[in-house]
Chain A
Amino acid sequence: MGKVKFISGDDAFAEGIRLARPQVVSAYPITPQTIVVERLSDMVEDQSLKSEFIHVESEHSALSCAIGASSVGARAFTATSSQGLLYMAEGLPYAAGGRFPIVMMNANRATALPWNIYGDQRDSVSQLDCGWIQVYVEDAQESLDMALMSYYIAEHPSVRVPVMVNLDGFVLTHTYEAVDIPEAKLADEFLPPYVSDNKMDLENPKNMAFSVGPADNQEFHLLHHKAMLRVADVVNEADTRFQSIFGRSHGGMVEGYRTEDAEYVLITVGSITGLAREVVDELRSQGVRAGVLKLRFLRPFPSQQIAEALVNSIEQGSAEVGSVVQAVGTLEKDISFGYEGTIYTNVNSALIKEDVHVPSYNFIGGLGGRDISKEDIRKCFSHMIGKEKDKIVWIGLGVEDDVR
């Protein structure tokens, strides 16, 4: 056990980054991420973090700077949110394709217009295809722990892909809770220094970040894709290692709660998971076999792990193995206009590929910071239990009748 402090998700993330000892922090503030880079600048000032803190003039430069730092072999960190992430968009596939293992914190926030600084996940979900690993955390402790663990995953020799760690804006970034801050000595034991030959080096000159024409271009993408497919194993390795050193585990690509024998499973991403678990407990006490499946990663997408969590052996001793799940719901703070929630699209593809054939619902809510209440989550379950016809449902609407 380290020291327990009552701090916010942003504070916790900054503490995790201090433990990871990045050599370069490039920063441009944006609500609700600002506190992270403010804390890091304090840490550099008081020399508890020996790092080059570069206050750049935009998010585009923040990421470009991190790419530059990584290209000379430095461990680099940056952070952003919403419009800032979108402004970085040009650099995102550059960092991923260059296989620069940068870690970036993203405070999930709505995208304009209408202008809004509150939390939803439309910013990062819009960037699923940029080639980064995407992880979503649930509370301040997982924020700190993933700040550290993300470098282990990103820099792993079989991965070498940047990681975006997503914290729900305000609900996580600005909420204070008790967080265990590990000792630096243990963090050093967990995370070795970054060593790579993917860097500019006067002793060992090489061509980097080059052009590749049609003759070889696709193969580079396949290499990148294969690295992503190895992430699930590395996440498990990182978690096992983390547990042996710190005594805490956050699980693998997904984390099930009472899914073992569940008939109705709600799939969640991020901080809403806790409340969903509470509703599951309530439903269980009423005899409803409900469960929650938290997706910790959206890239790579944990299709196999989702299927494994949903398909259960019904009767012990029986040869019959099949699905007891009656319905699956995907609750997300996202909408791909003109279609459905993008996480739902991904979940459905996973179900088809893995031969899990159950009714699948999409619950869209929490957009622009709209509160998702316990009652809203109860309604998601009753919608699934009632086998309702509408597959795509907007929850928590205030002015439904006026929306035409």
Chain B
Amino acid sequence: MIEIRWHGRGGQGAFTAAKIFGAAAVAEGRYALAFPSFGPERRGAPIQAFTKIDDAIVKDRSEIRNCDYIVIIDETLYSPAFLDALKKGGRIYINTKTPEKYSDSRITVVDADTISMHFLNRPVSNTAMAAVLAADTGIVSSENIEKSLYQYLPEKVAEKNVNVVNHIFEKDVFRRQIADSAIKHQDSRGGK
């Protein structure tokens, strides 16, 4: 089973991304569940959303603790502790303008806000991050991501988001980090 956890703030569309990804997986003939962290909905509050994908019916409806992929739509929610929540071979995707802050080789960085601003005129990066995950892992195709957009977004908004998806699949916009000097740098400062 592929288990994906999405982190965003209320209003940033983390749950919509989880649904779009799940619907795309179903379109590819697989089984999927998508659900938000349960409870009151509050704009701006940290929320999690979950997508589970498998070749058989997904019976476990509990929240994901060990993740194949963690997608950070809002960088302020990232914690290095997330690395411990990854399964072996798992990856974290971070939407950031300062990729140099992240040095772990399990992290993929992308400046999704700039892409979203360009195509949507708003820094709403849920679609961009779903597309990055799809493009990097190949779990779902760009075509099925695009089809799913029309299921959950108004037609005009979906059209603009299709451009985001195409851009991400066609251009080289995201980068897998290589473990480098950042950790050493931190050590040399003697900080925690």
Interface residues of A (CB under 8 A from B): 4-6, 31, 117-119, 169-171, 174-178, 271, 274-275, 277-278, 369, 371-374
For residue A276, which residue of chain B has the nearest CB? B59
Contact A371/B63 with A4-B26, A176-B19, A176-B22 known, Cβ cut-off 8 Å: yes
B40 touches A117 (CB 8 A): yes
List the B side residues contacting A277 at CB < 8 Å.
59
Pull 24 A–B residue pairs with CB atoms less than 8 Å apart, ordered by A: A5-B151, A6-B22, A6-B26, A6-B148, A31-B40, A117-B40, A119-B38, A170-B38, A171-B61, A174-B36, A174-B38, A175-B34, A175-B35, A176-B18, A176-B19, A176-B23, A176-B34, A176-B35, A177-B32, A178-B31, A178-B32, A275-B62, A277-B59, A374-B62
List the A side residues contacting B32 at CB < 8 Å.
6, 176-178
- Would you list which residues of chain B between 24 and 78 have a CB under 8 Å from chain A? 26, 31-36, 38-40, 57-63
List the A side residues contacting B148 at CB < 8 Å.
6
List the A side residues contacting B35 at CB < 8 Å.
170-171, 174-176
B62 touches A371 (CB 8 A): yes
A-B contact count (CB 8 A): 67
For residue B62, which residue of chain A has the nearest CB? A371
For the complex, give the distance between the alpha carbons of A170 and B62 in Å. 11
Least Cβ distance of A180 to chain B in Å?
11
For residue A116, which residue of chain B has the nearest CB? B39
Tell me whether chain B's interface is mostly helix, strand or loop, or mixed: mixed
Interface residues of B (CB under 8 A from A): 18-19, 22-23, 26, 31-36, 38-40, 57-63, 148, 151
For the complex, give the distance between the alpha carbons of A331 and B57 in Å. 22
Least Cβ distance of B65 to chain A in Å?
9
Between B31, B62, B63, the greatest number of chain A beta carbons within 10 A of the residue's beta carbon is seen for B62
List the A side residues contacting B58 at CB < 8 Å.
177
Contact A6/B40 with A176-B33, A177-B32, A275-B62 known, Cβ cut-off 8 Å: no
Least Cβ distance of B10 to chain A in Å?
14
Residue among A174, A176, A274 making CB contact with B60, cutoff 8 Å: A274
Between A31, A176, A275, the greatest number of chain B beta carbons within 10 A of the residue's beta carbon is seen for A176
Residue among B18, B26, B60 making CB contact with A178, cutoff 8 Å: B26
For the complex, give the distance between the alpha carbons of A176 and B20 in Å. 10
List the A side residues contacting B60 at CB < 8 Å.
274-275, 278, 374
For the complex, give the distance between the alpha carbons of A323 and B26 in Å. 43
Between B26, B35, B61, B148, the greatest number of chain A beta carbons within 10 A of the residue's beta carbon is seen for B61
B59 touches A275 (CB 8 A): yes
For the complex, give the distance between the alpha carbons of A118 and B37 in Å. 11
Residue among A6, A170, A171, A278 making CB contact with B151, cutoff 8 Å: A6
List the B side residues contacting A373 at CB < 8 Å.
62
For the complex, give the distance between the alpha carbons of A100 and B5 in Å. 45
For the complex, give the distance between the alpha carbons of A117 and B38 in Å. 9
B59 touches A6 (CB 8 A): no
List the B side residues contacting A31 at CB < 8 Å.
40
List the A side residues contacting B57 at CB < 8 Å.
274
Least Cβ distance of B146 to chain A in Å?
15
Between A5, A178, A369, the greatest number of chain B beta carbons within 10 A of the residue's beta carbon is seen for A178
For the complex, give the distance between the alpha carbons of A193 and B58 in Å. 36
List the A side residues contacting B34 at CB < 8 Å.
6, 175-177
List the B side residues contacting A372 at CB < 8 Å.
62
Least Cβ distance of A136 to chain B in Å?
15
List the B side residues contacting A177 at CB < 8 Å.
22, 31-34, 58
A118 touches B19 (CB 8 A): no
List the A side residues contacting B39 at CB < 8 Å.
117-118, 170, 369
List the B side residues contacting A278 at CB < 8 Å.
59-60
Could you list 9 further interchain pairs (A-B, Cβ under 8 angstroms) beyond the known A176-B18, A177-B31, A274-B60?
A: A117-B39, A117-B40, A119-B38, A171-B38, A174-B35, A175-B61, A176-B32, A178-B32, A274-B61
For residue A119, which residue of chain B has the nearest CB? B38
